[in-house]
């Protein structure tokens, strides 16, 4: 099932997993998918009601009941590789996971043949849109040192996959006699969509990306469509990261100022721009990048923008909205596109935007996290006159 505008049906839509009774990863596995859809819509409606946000129909878009993820963070504990167990501090050893895309499941199966002499750590596995395999080994320094000195395990892993190590995402390079840790390297690990054109995104295995390539296609195309419903708007974006929404919005925007705190993500976005295909070359001139902490202080004048695009962290926008206060209603940007995987902070910010004269025009749930309590919300707000 690809992009589906989900309608509730009577058919059985339950996924099965042999680890259901012990693994904490999927909280809704016991429910039919129809029921999950209903619960997610109702939960969002309750949050809107509680914060007195007027809303219309909530559209629900699904990319499937499972098998969506192209990256997952596994915990390693005492030889077990998996996720935390229900109500336990122990890790459930996961051989097959209904959340993984088929290429990621194959990668996990293969990865499980490596025996890590590490008691505790975290491992991210990732598969790129072109099938490249990645592993990010986030272990204590003493364990990293031991693995570099042992050599063979890492050499074997590097025959299959691109490897990043530790919080600084360093890349182990074999010199002929030993492993040295080199600076992080940008590669294509994700992609976005400018309307119907896929665009490769450069980042690290360890970078923040949306969890699923197929669900992200729905997100990116929704953003392109919404931005395209305005006349060549000038946009300011909060939390552009590696440029996932930036590029999908750029397809229809006149200009975008992308604001982001994380230097490594912005290096990825810059490399993505350098490697844009020639046919998309004209878009490069439309994008400006600005690095800073925009939850604290924003120096840009919102009067110069027609629209705001935001996909903040769980804490929401915080002070990013403050400059709207000092502008008259008609000087405020005409529209606001707000995407969030944390509806609790979304409704707080929508409450503030209501006070600044914005009304919710469209609301879409993109179910990036089927079988779990989580979901992504995309909203389009327009300022009244």
Ligand X SMILES: C[S@@+](CC[C@H](N)C(=O)[O-])C[C@H]1O[C@@H](n2cnc3c(N)ncnc32)[C@H](O)[C@@H]1O
Shortest CB 260 distance to ligand X, Å: 5
Q: Which is nearer to ligand X, 23 or 236 (CB)?
A: 236
What is the per-residue DSSP string for 116-131? ---SEEEEEEEE-TT-
Q: Which is nearer to ligand X, 6 or 294 (CB)?
A: 294
Q: Which is nearer to ligand X, 91 or 249 (CB)?
A: 249
Between CA 170 and CA 104 the distance in angstroms is 22
* Residues that bind ligand X in the complex, under the rule CB under 6 A: 208-210, 239, 241-242, 244-245, 259-262, 265, 293-295, 311-313
Tell me, yes or no, if 259 is annotated catalytic: no
Ranked by CB distance to ligand X, the top (closest) residue is 239
Shortest CB 30 distance to ligand X, Å: 29
Catalytic residue among 26, 70, 259, 341: 341
CA distances from 157 to 108, 115, 246 (A): 12, 11, 34
Between CA 178 and CA 155 the distance in angstroms is 11
Shortest CB 56 distance to ligand X, Å: 25
In this structure, the strands spanning 287-291 and 307-310 are unpaired
Q: Which is nearer to ligand X, 163 or 259 (CB)?
A: 259
Q: Which is nearer to ligand X, 100 or 219 (CB)?
A: 219
Shortest CB 365 distance to ligand X, Å: 16
Residue 76 burial class via C-beta count within 10 angstroms: exposed 0-12, middle 13-18, buried 19 and up: buried
Q: Two tokens at 185?
A: 């390297």
Shortest CB 132 distance to ligand X, Å: 19
Residue among 350, 293, 303, 349 nearest 323 (CA)? 303
Place of tokens 């944390």: 342
Sheet (strand 162-165) strand order: 91-93, 80-84, 71-77, 120-127, 133-138, 162-165
Between CA 48 and CA 178 the distance in angstroms is 58
Hey, which residues are catalytic here? 341
């Amino acid at each position: 099932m690809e992009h589906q505008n989900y309608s509730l049906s009577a058919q059985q839509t339950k996924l099965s997993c042999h680890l259901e009774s012990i693994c904490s990863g999927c909280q809704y596995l016991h429910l039919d998918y129809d029921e999950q859809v209903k619960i997610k819509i109702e939960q969002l409606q309750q949050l809107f009601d509680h914060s007195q946000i007027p809303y219309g129909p909530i559209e629900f878009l699904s990319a499937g009941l499972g098998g969506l993820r192209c990256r997952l963070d596994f915990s390693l504990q005492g030889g077990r590789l998996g996720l935390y167990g229900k109500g336990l501090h122990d890790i459930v050893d996961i051989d097959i996971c209904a959340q993984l895309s088929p290429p990621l499941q194959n990668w996990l199966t293969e990865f499980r043949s490596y025996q890590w002499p590490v008691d505790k750590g975290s491992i991210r596995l990732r598969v790129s849109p072109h099938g490249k395999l990645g592993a990010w080994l986030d272990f204590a320094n003493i364990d990293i040192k031991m693995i570099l000195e042992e050599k063979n395990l890492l050499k074997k892993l590097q025959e299959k996959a691109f490897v990043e190590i530790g919080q600084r995402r360093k890349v182990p390079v074999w010199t002929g006699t030993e492993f040295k840790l080199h600076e992080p390297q940008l590669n294509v690990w994700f992609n976005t969509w400018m309307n119907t054109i896929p665009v490769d995104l450069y980042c690290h295995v360890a970078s923040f990306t949306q969890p699923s390539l197929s669900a992200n296609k729905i997100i990116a195309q929704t953003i392109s469509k919404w931005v395209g419903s305005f006349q060549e708007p000038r946009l300011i974006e909060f939390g552009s990261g590696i440029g996932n929404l930036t590029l999908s919005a750029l397809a229809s925007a006149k200009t975008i100022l992308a604001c982001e705190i994380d230097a490594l993500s912005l290096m990825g976005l810059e490399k993505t721009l350098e490697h844009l295909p020639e046919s998309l070359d004209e878009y490069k001139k439309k994008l400006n990048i600005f690095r800073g902490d925009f939850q604290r202080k924003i120096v840009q004048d919102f009067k110069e923008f027609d629209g705001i695009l935001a996909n903040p962290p769980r804490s929401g926008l915080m002070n990013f909205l403050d400059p709207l206060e000092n502008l008259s209603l008609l000087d405020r940007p005409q529209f606001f596109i707000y995407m969030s995987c944390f509806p609790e902070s979304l409704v707080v910010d929508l409450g503030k935007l209501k006070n600044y004269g914005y009304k919710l025009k469209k609301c879409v749930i993109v179910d990036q996290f089927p079988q779990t309590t989580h979901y992504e919300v995309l909203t389009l707000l327009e300022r009244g006159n």
